[in-house]
Amino acid sequence: MAAADVASAQTAAPQEAPASAGDEVTRADAFYRRGLRLYSDKKYVEAEKELESAWELNPTFDVAYNLGNTKYQLKKHREAATYLSFALRNWPLVKTVAKLKPTAEQRFAESRAQVGAVAVTVGVAGAEVLVDGKAVGRAPLGGEVFVEPGEHEVEARQAGYAPASQKVTVAKGGAVEVKLALALAKSEGPTAAGRTPVGGGSGTGAGAGGPVAGQPPAGPVGPQPVPEKRSWVPVIALGAASAVGLGVGIGMTVAGSNASGDAHTQSAAIIQAGAQCVRPEASWVGPCEQVRSNASRADTLGNVARVAFIGAGVLAIGAATYALWPKSKRTESIVALPVVHSDGAGLAMMGAW
């Protein structure tokens, strides 16, 4: 691929990155730009290392696109298919990068023809998926897993479930579908040593139902205290509120990520056109303001997401505390209430001791 094509998909980060972007985005951008320069000089091995470092810190479509092309140049078709597939699934609706999509599609098709693919479906969401013992993600996976032609073992693991696996043989250019159903792990019952023997044996033992030899006869059983009933309404209410907070946090995180991606893509277009946003020309004031607006929106949505996650965590702690807190023998009750304010969150305990 020509160097100009690589540069067209540069990381869309404004020259004045928001403070909330952090060191990781800055470092990823530095790795990314070094990788582009090395690719332009046809130093593909060195470019591969730089782009892989950028991917680890900031896995975005443009990094995947250029890393996939670098793997393609190095004849690493399985990895090329993996990264190009990610880029195509997340391709932005921006005209400035639309001309690069045919190249990505062509090189993905060429790489895909050299390897096999496994489409994995797991019955339990969040289960870890492994291929030949190497983790490839959690269910549901975003796309196919590309493998070298031959035999492979696909496995799924999740806490509380018995692991499931299946061996498959994948042909060059072919694809197979694997469906793994995880069954709940069986809990072990009491061992024989832990059971109380019943009935008489040889010697002086009593008959069936009598006392066991060597043990004193059981005395009268006194009345047992009736356990106090616990209301589960607070647990359900707090749990539901926690789930809502978690959903809000996830939604805000996704929206913030989209806004950040828009800012990156718009900035890339500005840089590609030879402009900049530090002191933009009159014709670029509007686009630069849009970049800053999207970056600011991403920052705001990120802050909202953090508050929502904190609130969800506090509510979950409140539900767990109420459910697991030992009952007091006194008649006074203990109430746990979550407290959320602008500086953080906590738990208020009220009652009598």
For the chain, the structural domain boundaries read 1-113, 115-182, 233-350
Contact 131, 150 (CB under 8 A): no
Bridge partners for 156 per DSSP: 129, 164
Is 115-182 in the same CATH topology as 1-113?
no
CA 81 to chain centre: 22
Contact 147, 118 (CB under 8 A): yes
Tell me what pLDDT residue 344 has: 65
pLDDT 10s digits, 121-156: 998 999 999 999 999 999 999 899 999 999 999 999
pLDDT 10s digits, 55-68: 999 999 899 999 99
Instruction: Assign domain 1-113 one CATH number from 3.40.390.10, 3.30.950.10, 3.40.228.10, 1.25.40.10.
Output: 1.25.40.10
Tell me what pLDDT residue 14 has: 39
Starting at the earlier edge strand, list the strands of the sheet with 175-180. Answer: 145-147, 116-122, 175-180
Tell me what pLDDT residue 175 has: 95
- Angle in degrees, CA 301, 305, 140, rounded to 5: 105
Mean pLDDT by 10 residues, the chain (353 residues): 40 42 83 95 95 93 94 95 94 86 94 95 93 93 93 94 94 94 73 42 39 41 51 79 86 86 82 78 79 85 86 82 64 59 65 60
CA distance 188 to 328: 32
pTM (2 decimals)? 0.49
Kindly list the distances between the CA atom of residue 247 and the CA atoms of 31, 244, 310, 311, in Å, as whole numbers in the listed order: 34, 5, 12, 11
CA distance 115 to 208: 70
For 187, phi and psi rounded to 5 degrees? Answer: -85, 140
Tell me what pLDDT residue 57 has: 93
Q: What's the number of CA atoms in the CB half-sphere (13 Å) around residue 204?
A: 3
Tell me what pLDDT residue 343 has: 62
Architecture of domain 115-182 in this structure: Sandwich (2.60)
